[in-house]
Every structure is written in structure tokens, then in C-alpha cells.
Amino acid sequence: MYQSINFADGTAVTPDDMQIAPGKLFINGEWRDAQDGQTKPTINPATEEAITEIAQATVTDANAAVEAARKAFDEGPWSKMSGHERGRILMKVGDLILKHAEELAYRETIDMGKPIAFSHTVDVPLMADLFYYYGGIASQIEGAARHVSPPPTHTPNLAYTLREPLGVVAAITPFNFPMILSGTKIAPALAAGNTVIHKPASITPLSAIKLAQLIAEAGIPEGVFNLVTGPGGKIGDVLVKHPGINKIAFTGSTDVGIAIIKNSADTLKKVTMELGGKSANIIFADADIDSAVTSAFFGIFYNKGEICTAGSRLLVERSVYEEVIERLVRQVEQMLKGDPLDPNVRFGPLADKSQFEKISQYVQYGHEEGAKLRIGGKAFNPNDNGNGNKGFYYEPTIFSDATYDMRIVQEEIFGPVLAVTPFNTEEEAINLANGTKFGLASGVHTRDIKKAHRVARAMKAGTCWINTYNLFDVAIPFGGYKASGFGRELGTNVMENYTHTKSVWVDLS
């Protein structure tokens, strides 16, 4: 394993500098063990070794978190604070995130396999931006006022609206971007005056535990923020069904999202769903091919393809089809793969064994259904010391001649597998792009600006990148169409998901 990390700011750390203590639950302002004392190791996907033990919350613990959050909302100061006061605390969280950037990045990398080059320069700054941005938004949650004269009397009235917090929000977050996808829910929920229970993915809890420490250090009152780690099915089910919770904010697979919607229906919870994707990325022959290939490469192999917006379906105009594939293959060959703690590495291990097995199965489907393997399609082992494979490493994989009916085209793989399909006309490209049940993201590459806008409008997806891919900013809304979910994260309109609108009428006659 890589023995030291040298960051761009001149700091250098070794794994010995960042020993990870066992993870506990954070409920009502206290760190505590699970009610029955159970723990489970979290595993480093690069070595398959245990990092530390993590408390496994029980149903009793989950109920205690709901009780604490409910009491803090109903009786505590947070929902009654001014937006300025809440904003100052959220800003302090942002400061603390940057202060502890190296540790957060290290935790993210050893827990999930994300290269340290990305966790330190992308994930940590974006999470800090989320708390800064919504810290600023906290004092700008506004209603509107109107003078009205309704029939039949037409007497003058003043009508105005208030934006009020929902209550208790359960944020259920996935394994692939543990920091960012926690911040996209926690920061706006707190800014609006809600209390929060965070249930991170069971396989990647380390950055969530550190974030809870920083939120507590920033001065969040007791019970306002709670963390429960452990089995997703059991604890998530408690949160989804509990009548004391007002809102579920979820990012994850479409199948799990559907189950959450069904299970939350009896208590009429507000829900937002950021679900799966099978995003199409179109390259026209008139594109800047160098730029388009770089974007396509980044679009699928960034974060090892474990990203819901992955451009996993590449549609290429036939006249440049082979050229694009050959260039992509060369980029794969040149990419440094291996230990994610090496700052030069850009491609690390998959997040866990189940991901490794899933990717292996889909590659087999690709072979069986007639796609042509151009590169990859197998495990690799940077840690081979003669004692067998260590780490969940899988080669970046490209299939060409992928057709509409193949599983690698229709189903979300959530890994580094690219399916490339040729097309002849703009209409054919659009039909292929829209030809799955998903609609999270899309891309189009062309020098023709009219064509770019025309195709972007035709894409049935929540995001379309033109001549780029996988760019995000905290101020720009994000979410899906169709089976990719509903509701939006990021930007100002996300506050609609974390507030009620109350109308107040005043008779002025």
C-alpha cells in the first residue's frame, strides 16, 4: 500500500497519522454504542482488510433517534432560530470541513476506494460548498404577499405566505459519494429549520461519522442532527415507516426507491428520490473529437463508474465510430490504475465485493449477448504479492456493437463498463438515447450549436451536458425523469422539498 499522501497544499500524511477509532451512533447530542453492543467491520476495498468496527444500530436505536429529532424540532430552538443564526452554524460546519479536509479525504478513500486525488480536490470542497451555500440560503427563505379582493364581497385582504420547516427529515444516502450526497440533503434540511437523522450506506460510514463530529463541534443543539449506522434494510425500514418522520430524502437504486415510496405511503411522508441512471452520451461526427473522447472517458470511468450519472451508453455517429473507440481504448491503456491512496492514481477498486461480483456478471452478459469486447473485461491485481488477489479491482471495460436489447444497454450496471453503439442520423441518436426507462443525465457533443440545443431539448433526462460531462455545482438543480426519480437537489428550489407553504389571510376592511 502507498505509505504517504502528499497533498497539493504541501501537507503530507501517512496512514499512521489518521488512525480510525471505532464508529458509534450519534443520538441526541451523545455518542453511544448500539443498544445491543453489536458492531461490524467496515472494509477497505483496496486491501479487503478491516479498517475499524462500526456500531450496528438496532430498531430501539432508530426509534431513539426519531424521538430525539422529534423533541428537538417540537420543543427545541433550531426551528425557532432566525435564518441568520442557523446560517452561521452551517457556515462554521463548512469551515470545519476544510480544516479537516485531509482526514475526510483519507476516510473516503480507504472506505470506498475513491482515488485520493478526487476525494481531496472534488468531494471535500464540494461538501464544504454545500454548507456555505445553504448557510447563506438559510436567511433567504421567503414567502410572498398580495393584496386581494376575493368574491363575493370583494373586500380588501392581505394574503401572504410563509415557508415553514417540515419537521424531522431522514436522509438515506448511498455508498458511492458518501460525503457529497450526505451534504446535498443535510445542509438544505438544516438550513430550512428541520431536524435530521442521517442513515449512511452500511459499507461506507467513515466520512459520515466524521461529518457528525464536525456538525456537533459547530454548535448544533442536541437532537437536531442524529447519525445511525448499520444495516440499511432494517434501520431504513424503521425510518421510512415511522410516523414521527415527515420527510425521506433518498439517493440509491430505483428498486429501493420504489420500496421506500410504497412503505412511506401509510404515513403520507414527503419524499424525494434521486435514483438510478443509464445515461446516453452522444458524439456527432462534427464534434471536437479530442474533447468529446476525453468527456466520454471521464463520463464513464470517473469514480470507477460508480456514479448514477455515468455516461454508460456512448452513441457515436458511424463515420467516426471506430476512431472514437480506438481513442478511448488508448486512454484506458494510459490511465494509472491501482492504490487509491497514491495521488497519481485515477482508478481504484470497486466499493465492495458485491459490486465486484455484479460488474463481473454484467460483463458476462455482454459476452453472451454478442457485444464485442474492446478492452478490459477482467479483474486486475495491483497488490499481488504471491499470496493471491487482494482488493476489488476490475479493469475499465469497453464493449462495442452494443444493441438496444442487450442488458448492458438497458440496465444500470453502476460500474466501469461502457456500451458503445453506432448511429446514422440525429433522429436515430435521440431515439436510442431515450430508449431506456431511466432519465437522469445525458450528453451531446457537436460544434453545431443549433443541433446541440435541439438535441438537449429532446433528451428525456434531468441534466444534459453539451461538449462536457459530469460537471456539478451546488447552485444548479439536479435530479431525474422517469425511473430516475423525482424532486431536485441543489440550487435554491430544493428548499421547496424541505418546507411547507402556509397561506395567511388578513381582513383589511
Active-site amino acid positions: 274, 308
**DSSP for 159-202, written as a single string:** EEEEEEE-SEEEEE--SSSTTHHHHHHHHHHHHTT-EEEEE--T
Angle between helices 124-137 and 180-191 (to 10 degrees): 10
Cell representation of residue 46: 483496496
* Gap between the Cα atoms of 89 and 195, Å rounded: 14
Nearest residue to 348 (alpha-carbon basis) of 415, 439, 291, 428: 415
Question: Which secondary-structure segment (H or E) carries 41?
Answer: strand 39-44
Terminal-residue alpha carbon distance, the chain? 77
3-state SS class at 474: coil
The helices-and-strands tally (H runs, E runs) of the chain is 15, 24
* Sheet of strand 499-507, all strands in order from the earlier edge strand to the far edge: 145-148, 157-165, 499-507
Distance CA 128, CA 264 (A): 31
Task: Tell me the C-alpha distance between 139 and 360, whole Å.
Answer: 49
Could you tell me if residue 388 is left (phi over 0), alpha (psi between -120 and 50 degrees) or otherwise beta?
left
Give the residue carrying C-alpha cell 452554524. Answer: 89
Q: Is the peptide bond before 152 cis (omega within 30 degrees of 0)?
A: yes
- Which residues does 293 contact at the CB level (< 8 Å), separation at least 6? 283, 324, 327, 328, 331
477 preceded by a cis bond (ω within 30 of 0):
no
Q: For residues 467 and 443, what is the distance between their CA atoms, to the nearest angstrom?
A: 7
296 half-sphere exposure, CB direction, 13 A CA radius: 34
Q: Nearest CA to 192 among 249, 261, 243? A: 249
Contact 306, 321 (CB under 8 A): no
| Residue 189 and residue 498 in contact, taking contact as beta carbons nearer than 8 Å | yes
Q: Decide: 456 and 478 in contact? Cβ < 8 Å.
A: no
Q: Taken in order 75, 76, 78, 82, is the CA torsion positive or negative?
A: positive
